[in-house]
Structure 1
Amino acid sequence: MNKDQLVGTAIMLASIAGILVYGWILFFTQWSLLLLQLTGFVAVAGVLGILAWIGFTLATTPPPKPIEEIEKEIEEELKKLEAEEKKEEKQ
């Protein structure tokens, strides 16, 4: 068994153990309401945290240059290269 298979097996066993512990707490202890509240909070906080990160990224990233401006820059560079080539040909 290689390292990846060992890690995969460990993850699988830990996940199954987590499912069993979660189910046991949810159905057979007095902590079920707290567990549901924590689960709901973590799920909502995770989704809203991701949305906040996306919003922050959109708010702080400068907008890209318009295509027309990029095309003009490319044309100018091509003209410079052509001018240099003509100078080299004359020499």
Structure 2
Amino acid sequence: MSKDQLVGWALALISVVVILLYGWLVFFTSWDVLVLKLTGFAAVAGVFGILAWIGYTLATTPPPKPIEEIEKEIEEELKRLEQESQQAQQGAQ
């Protein structure tokens, strides 16, 4: 059995155990309200934590350059390379 298959079976087994444990905690113990509160909090915190991370990333990332600026830089670079090429050809003659 390959390592990937072993990891896959381990994840599947752990998932089934967690599902059964969660079901037992919610339906067959007196901790049902606490378990549901913790689960709800973890879900909400996870979703809004991801949204906060996306918002922070958007707020701190500089905006992209306009296409006109990029085209202008490319044209300048091409002109510079063309001039260097012509100078090199003249120097070789």
Indicate the TM-score class for this superposition, using the shorter chain for normalisation. over 0.9
SS in 2 for 1:47: helix
Superposed, 1:2-81 pairs within 5 Å as 2-81=2-81
Per-residue CA deviations over 1:39-64 (Å, capped at 9, x if unaligned) read: 11000000000000001001111111
TM-align CA RMSD: 0.9
Within 2, Cα distance between the matches of 1:50 and 1:88?
55
* TM-score, normalised via structure 1 length: 0.95
Number of aligned positions between the proteins: 91
Per-residue CA deviations over 1:22-53 (Å, capped at 9, x if unaligned) read: 00111101001111111110000000000000
Identity of aligned residues (%): 69
Q: How far apart are 1:88 and its partner, in Å?
A: 2.2
Question: Deviating runs (4+, > 6 A) in structure 1?
Answer: none
* TM-score, normalised via structure 2 length: 0.93
Query: Which residues of structure 1 form unaligned runs of 5+?
Result: none
Given residue 90 of structure 1, which amino acid in structure 2 is its aligned partner? Q
Query: Which residues of structure 2 form unaligned runs of 5+?
Result: none
